[in-house]
Amino acid sequence: MITQQELKDKLEYDKDTGIFIWKVSNGGRSSAGKIAGGLSHGYREIKVNKKKYMSHRLAWLYVYGEFPKNHIDHINRVKDDNRICNLRDVTMAENNRNIGIRKDNTSGHIGVVRDRTKWRAYITVNKKTINLGNHSQKEDAIKARKEAEIKYNCNNTRY
């Protein structure tokens, strides 16, 4: 594992842009002054000392002196936006709450889906899905979902 000091010796991190710049040539394509890393599944990865690291985890180490204890959540959901103000150390459940609406969602709201002629509302709490009923009106299903978020204290829970 790389230390904060080793990281700072090799890379410069701009907390306002979230970009790492090589301070020294690292062999291969990495030379001093170049932006470090490349994209992998939308996230930026940087290879340091022959080991790949996710850039957001390196940003955390660079600023706070230790790797995050849990998962790093990109608050604005942009996978390669590694500004320190956009990153937070969260549990897996908290990270999942910030996933957003699925592409196949027709209601435009998390936890509300079309079920034949009705709108079904549901919420997942502690890995258990709770059915909130079938509703004739989409607005009623949305209201049921929002009430459940308050009841279970899990605003923006996925599904």
Look up residue 62 and give its two tokens.
């660079």
Residue carrying structure tokens 């230790």: 66
Which of 100, 104, 99, 136 is closest to 120 using CA atoms? 136
> Matching CATH topology for 4-94 and 101-151?
no
In this prediction, residue 28 carries a pLDDT of 67
The secondary structure of residue 151, as a DSSP letter, is H
What per-residue confidence (pLDDT) applies to 27?
66
Give the per-residue pLDDT at 21.
Answer: 97
What confidence score (pLDDT) does residue 102 get?
Answer: 76
pLDDT value of position 144: 95
Q: Which long-range contacts (CB under 8 A, 24 or more apart) does 55-58 make?
A: 55/18, 55/20, 55/80, 55/82, 56/82, 56/87, 58/2, 58/7, 58/11, 58/13, 58/20
Question: Residue 68: helix, strand or coil by DSSP?
Answer: coil
Tell me, what's the pLDDT at 3?
96
pLDDT of residue 4: 97
pLDDT at 2: 96
CATH match of 4-94 with 1.25.10.10: no
What does the pLDDT read at residue 154?
Answer: 66
How high is the pLDDT of residue 13?
Answer: 98
User: Which CATH architecture fits 101-151?
Assistant: 2-Layer Sandwich (3.30)
Give the residue extent of every domain in the chain. Answer: 4-94, 101-151
Which stretches of the chain score pLDDT less than 70? 27-28, 154-159
User: pTM for the whole thing?
Assistant: 0.70
* Calpha distance 43→38 (Å, rounded): 8
